[in-house]
Chains A and B, each alone.
Chain A
């Protein structure tokens, strides 16, 4: 069902990419979630996937990390690629008493000194001995980022890293992510629903709505007719992304109701 059209991303880089998706499709029990998605991620590159709810962003990064096999297409990761993953949200069970330090030590083997260093780097030193269930949204996201960094990742995968964080905190977190990329020389693949907030901290953007609607540098994408159509002109300007006009309808279950094929990618 997917025609293997390779959509090259921005300028072709000389080195082999850390991550290469070719024509990836995903349709569990016939419900299409992703169709013919291709992307490349090179070292030290920050690539942001934006799109409305139900666009398949989380599914896409799960496929990229190898948690879920795609139904069509191929995923190639550089051999021995160390991935640090920051999940969308940690549902901390209030019934489980768990301190931040203990939570971080559940991940890769580490030392107390390194724990403190990493927590300082993400700006969360003060929560080392706090209970996970007492953290604010921003603190929890920083702790999750610290856990991902403890793996000394070559690729950081961040699923909506600013979820549950206020607007000021969101800008700070995105700055922190850029800083981490510069310090650690790692690539970043992140999901966001807000192009304007990530604009200054991302190299490339993929606008996803079950397929790649458009891609390129953030300024380029923000003026792309496909992006404007997907997020709505006023919506795109005002960052209110949840009320947008589609070029295709979604049914109640979130599936795409295809009326026509559109060519813009």
Chain B
């Protein structure tokens, strides 16, 4: 029994780390960190809706994250406000709406687990959804890897060269929404963005190509997951924060020996 939940925790963490590597690279390259936070905040809205409507939590969270991503895309098109202002409005109004909706339900959810994750409590069913979601996102990123790179380097150039720019942006946002939603259980909404950003930042120094950076980020993320769960096992520290801390330490170790660039 004891081994089972640990194996599930390790598997769930590794799945997230694998997809977070390449996705996190785009977040770093495109400076979308704040967008990840916004998606994470809106996850609470999904939880509240799942309780009100009696549907699967993960499905509801994925749906609400995707909805917020779509709202952002349509608001961005009007360009009436700067994107970071829009993100702030979306993030906090969806978080507030989630909290208000939660007060209408009888269930009392564990806010701590929501904020910081509850990796050791991952069920077999949740692991399946994470695995499928993670695999799907990896496949989508691999399929559109070169077009997404071209888009990131110069949007108009990509457009002149015939790439469907609007669709690619949407794909990236939806992948991000799905990853944030399925990884909520692992590190919690407050720490999700860090797991997307720290491994690519650590891998950047050693990478010669975008692919190396993505794979390196995946590897560093996996190592951080193993170290974090190990620390949590031996020293009884909270799992999610331990993983993030391990990633941060790996980043520090990587940046220590003499600045190259």
Contacts and interface: CB of A to CB of B under 8 A. Distances in A.
A binds B: yes
Interface of A: 62, 65, 67, 83-85, 87, 90-99, 102-103, 106-108, 147, 151, 157
Interface in B15-34: 25, 28-29
A108 B161 contact: yes
9 shortest interchain CB distances as A-B pairs: A85-B160, A106-B150, A97-B207, A96-B29, A93-B29, A87-B157, A95-B28, A87-B154, A67-B159
B177 to A, nearest CB: 23
A84 B162 CA distance: 11
A93 B25 CA distance: 11
Given A93-B29, A106-B146, A98 B160 contact: no
B105 interface: no
B156 interface: yes
B208 A96 contact: no
A96 B157 contact: no
A98 B161 contact: no
B150 A107 contact: yes
Contacts of A94: 261
Main secondary structure of the interface of B (DSSP, over half): helix
Given A92-B153, A93-B152, A95-B200, 9 more contacts: A67-B156, A67-B159, A85-B160, A93-B29, A95-B29, A96-B152, A97-B204, A103-B153, A157-B160
B137 interface: no
25 contacts: A83-B160, A85-B157, A87-B156, A90-B154, A93-B29, A93-B153, A95-B28, A95-B200, A96-B25, A96-B29, A96-B153, A97-B204, A97-B208, A97-B209, A97-B210, A97-B212, A98-B209, A99-B209, A102-B209, A103-B153, A106-B149, A106-B150, A108-B161, A147-B157, A151-B161
Contacts of A107: 150, 161
Nearest to B151: A106
Interface residues of B, number: 24
Contacts of B160: 65, 67, 83-85, 157
A164 B156 CA distance: 20
Main secondary structure of the interface of A (DSSP, over half): loop
Contacts of A95: 28-29, 200-201, 204
Contacts of B208: 97, 99
Contacts of B210: 96-98, 102
Contacts of B200: 95
A56 to B, nearest CB: 16
Contacts of B150: 106-107
Most buried by B among A65, A85, A99: A85
B213 interface: yes
Nearest to B25: A96
Contact of A97 (B152, B157, B159, B213): B213
A90 B153 contact: yes
Nearest to A157: B160
A112 B25 CA distance: 27
A106 B150 CA distance: 6
Contacts of A147: 157
A13 B68 CA distance: 53
Nearest to A62: B156
A77 to B, nearest CB: 12
A146 B46 CA distance: 48
A50 B37 CA distance: 43
A235 to B, nearest CB: 30
Contacts of B261: 94
A98 B153 contact: yes
Contacts of A92: 153
Contacts of A85: 156-157, 160-161
A92 B157 CA distance: 13
A108 B200 CA distance: 28
Nearest to A89: B154
Most buried by B among A96, A107, A157: A96
Contacts of B28: 95
B156 to A, nearest CB: 6
Interface string B122-163: 000000000000000000000000100110111011011100
